[in-house]
């Protein structure tokens, strides 16, 4: 099903169906991507895209190349919000803010502008490429990074560029290099300045990952902040080989190898802080995609109390962590903070009196006092092999990065039953489901019952920005939609971020964990031996005091730390709770309607 802009362009004969399909595959679906790709490819003019959008949405067009927009407009709208949603402020008249949008159908953005500014909003249609250019006029180019595009003609040949890079200082793995000055004069090479600036900007914004993605007509760079990817800018695809080569040299990769995935590391100094970067390159259709994971030891929370634990969850988890032997498992999807929780637990036990070994893939943070081993699957050194080797090193505490097969699980359980305390992660949806997962891969129920001490499931949720947090009342319908009985919220003040400069207009800043900690008490151990289902184990654990992920999320919602959207996003599959809440609400309305 084509979007409205695509239908209009196809009917006019300006583009072919193959063009629309190709752009959707390369740039993604949507009118914004289509309009921008067609203008960049020279198939359609900006003015025509502007006119079509205005006609589709029944609003007036604005031709931004003919409209003088100065930097005085910057104070009208938050820059991060404006860039993310491709909306540029034009002027304010009386109590109305006039703005140009690349996607006039996005009513959510319009409502957010109204809420943040307290003004009525008058929207004009404009081509996406024109809005991007106008945003640079209003807010300035992003740290002058895009200006590298202007010098790309100096490096037409890949070989010439590689020679220039080779003539620069190539930093050894153990040597720190300073990125404190984004536009330092250490080198005149514009690509070096570009990469230094990009990395420094990401670190300062507390970004977790940088994605450099090649497409046929552009090179896209995205930052992942608080779990969400945001496109920062698009640049000329001719820069792809230069940027890839520079990053490979910095991370110790083979710049000549482009057909296999590679891993590397970078150590850099930004604003006086040592930052580690884990770098991975993967061959894709239009070249190589490179992802940099930013590992800032300064942001690593090693105190369990700072990770968002409720008092009862923390008490239960610490009981398992402080066990003399046994297995402590942490479950959750990729990016849910499992490794941070394990590092925090190990740090609480890290004293000269104990011998702690880890086997990780990869080693994300180097922590003094821990003997850390890097897994190398290519050399046959997997988790099982590493665990066997560690057991010959006289360990008291072992951390194995992941239990994913019978051999690793079997060795871990044997270690736990012979006196070691073992920490690991496992990919399951919740704590009770972990029991069935271990039995499914071949571990006998009585061994699971004997070896496991504690299982914790966790997720990360976006927290409300403290600077712009304000009281907010959710409608009964919204509460029911995520399975909360409105009567349960009586007298409770909930909050929501309205957007500010600190959170780039998003209303959220930072992330916190929600947790589900199941202690293997006597009843649950017997239920495991009796091969109880995951649902039966969950009911038993809750009756014994376990707080589920959903219960923890709702508690943080009531306390004003997260929004209702986050509760729904994390526990959206809890259909039974939704049905119960809806039924209770309808019953209450019926009772109230017949009450005298």
Helices (H), 295-405: 311-321, 338-349, 383-390
165-198 b/e with 16+ CB inside 10 Å = b? Answer: beeeeebeeeeebebeebeeeeeebbbbbbbbbb
Residue extents of the structural domains in the chain: 4-139, 142-295, 304-463+511-573
Rg of the chain over CA atoms, in angstroms?
A: 27
Q: CA angle at residue 558 from 552 to 563, to 5 degrees?
A: 85
Q: Is the pLDDT of residue 584 over 60?
A: no
Q: Residue 401 in contact with residue 314, Cβ under 8 Å?
A: no
What is the rounded CA–CA span in Å between residue 21 and residue 42? 17
Same fold, 142-295 and 304-463+511-573: no
pLDDT digits (tens, 9 = 90+) for 542-552: 888 899 998 89
As a whole number of angstroms, the distance between CA 23 and CA 238 comes to 19
Q: Is the pLDDT of residue 281 over 90?
A: yes
pLDDT tens-place string over residues 372-425 = 988 888 778 888 888 889 998 999 999 998 898 899 999 999 999 988 999 999
Share of the chain above pLDDT 70, in %: 85
Residues 239-260: what's their mean pLDDT? 86
CATH fold of 304-463+511-573 reads Rossmann fold (3.40.50)
Kindly report, residue by residue over 9-26, the tens digit of the pLDDT: 888 888 888 888 887 776
Report the distance separating Cα 70 and Cα 141, nearest Å: 13
Q: Which of the 8 DSSP states describes residue 172?
A: P
Q: Which two tokens stand for residue 238?
A: 């001719």
Asked whether 117 and 95 are in contact (CB, 8 A), the reply is: no
Is residue 66 classed as helix, strand or coil in its secondary structure? helix
Does residue 536 surpass a pLDDT of 60?
Answer: yes
Tokens linked to 43: 């198939």
Q: How far apart, in whole angstroms, are the C-alpha atoms of residue 35 and residue 377?
A: 45
From the candidate CATH numbers 3.40.50.740, 3.30.300.160, 3.40.50.720, 3.30.110.70, the one assigned to the domain spanning 4-139: 3.30.300.160
Class of CATH domain 142-295: alpha beta
Q: Give first-to-last CA distance, the chain, whole Å.
A: 53
Scored b (16 or more CB within 10 A) or e, 108-139 reads: ebbebbeebbebebebbbbbbbbbbbbbebbb
pLDDT digits (tens, 9 = 90+) for 160-175: 333 333 332 333 333 4
pLDDT in tens, 174-210: 344 444 333 333 443 678 888 888 888 888 888 889 9
Rounded CA separation 580/570 (Å): 18
pLDDT of residue 136: 76
Residue 149 binned pLDDT confidence (cut-offs 50, 70, 90): very low
Tell me the C-alpha distance between 94 and 215, whole Å: 44
pLDDT at 302: 65
Residues 6+ apart with CB under 8 A from 202: 210, 223, 292, 294
């Amino acid at each position: 099903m084509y979007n409205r802009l695509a239908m209009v362009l196809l009917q006019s004969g300006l583009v072919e169906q193959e063009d629309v399909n190709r752009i959707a595959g390369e740039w993604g679906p949507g009118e914004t991507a289509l309009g921008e790709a067609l203008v960049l490819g020279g198939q359609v003019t900006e003015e025509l895209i502007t006119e079509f959008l205005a006609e589709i949405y029944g609003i007036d067009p604005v031709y931004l190349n003919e409209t003088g927009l100065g930097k005085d407009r910057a104070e009208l709208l938050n820059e991060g919000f404006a860039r993310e949603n491709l909306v540029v402020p034009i002027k304010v008249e009386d109590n109305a803010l006039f703005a140009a949008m690349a996607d006039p159908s996005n009513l959510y953005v319009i409502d957010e502008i109204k809420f943040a500014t307290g003004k009525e909003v008058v929207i004009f249609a404009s081509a996406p490429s024109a809005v991007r250019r106008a945003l640079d006029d209003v807010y300035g180019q992003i740290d002058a990074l895009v200006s590298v595009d202007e010098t790309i003609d100096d490096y037409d040949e890949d070989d010439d560029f590689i020679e220039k890079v080779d003539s620069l200082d190539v930093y050894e793995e153990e040597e720190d290099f300073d990125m404190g000055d984004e536009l330092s004069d250490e080198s005149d090479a514009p690509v070096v300045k570009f990469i230094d600036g990009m990395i420094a900007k990401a670190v300062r914004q507390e970004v977790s990952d940088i994605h450099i993605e090649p497409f046929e007509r552009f090179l896209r760079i995205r930052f992942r902040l608080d779990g969400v990817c945001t496109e920062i800018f698009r640049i000329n695809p001719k820069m792809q080989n230069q940027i890839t080569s520079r990053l490979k040299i910095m991370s110790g990769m083979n710049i000549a190898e482009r057909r296999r995935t590679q891993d590397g590391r970078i150590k850099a100094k930004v604003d006086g802080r040592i930052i580690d970067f884990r770098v991975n390159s993967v061959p894709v259709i239009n070249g190589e995609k490179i992802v940099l994971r930013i590992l800032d030891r300064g942001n690593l929370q090693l105190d369990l109390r700072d990770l968002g634990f409720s008092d009862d969850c923390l008490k239960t988890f610490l009981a398992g962590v402080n066990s003399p032997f046994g297995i402590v498992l942490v479950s959750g999807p990729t990016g849910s903070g499992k490794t941070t929780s394990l590092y925090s637990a190990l740090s609480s036990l890290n004293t000269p009196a104990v011998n702690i070994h880890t086997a990780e893939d990869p080693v994300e943070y180097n922590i003094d006092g821990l003997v850390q081993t890097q897994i190398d699957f290519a050399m046959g050194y997997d988790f099982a092999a590493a665990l066997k080797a560690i057991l010959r090193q006289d360990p008291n505490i072992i951390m194995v990065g992941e239990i994913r097969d019978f051999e690793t699980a079997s060795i871990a359980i044997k270690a736990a039953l012979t006196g070691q305390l073992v920490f690991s992660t496992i990919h399951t949806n919740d704590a009770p489901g972990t029991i069935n997962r271990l039995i499914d891969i071949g571990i006998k129920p009585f061994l699971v019952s004997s070896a496991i001490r504690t299982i914790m499931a966790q997720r990360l949720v976006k927290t409300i920005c403290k600077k712009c947090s304000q009281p907010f009342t959710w409608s009964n319908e919204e509460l029911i939609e995520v399975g909360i009985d409105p009567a349960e919220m009586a007298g409770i003040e909930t909050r929501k971020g309205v957007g500010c400069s600190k959170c780039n207009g998003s209303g959220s800043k930072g992330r916190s964990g929600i947790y589900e900690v199941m202690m293997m008490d006597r009843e649950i151990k017997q239920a495991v031996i009796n091969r109880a289902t995951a649902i039966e184990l969950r009911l038993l654990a809750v009756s014994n005091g376990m707080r589920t992920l959903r219960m923890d999320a709702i508690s943080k919602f009531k306390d004003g730390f997260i929004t209702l959207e986050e509760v729904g996003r994390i526990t959206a599959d809890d259909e039974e709770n939704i049905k119960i809440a809806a039924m209770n609400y309808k019953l209450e309305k019926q009772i109230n309607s017949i009450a005298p």
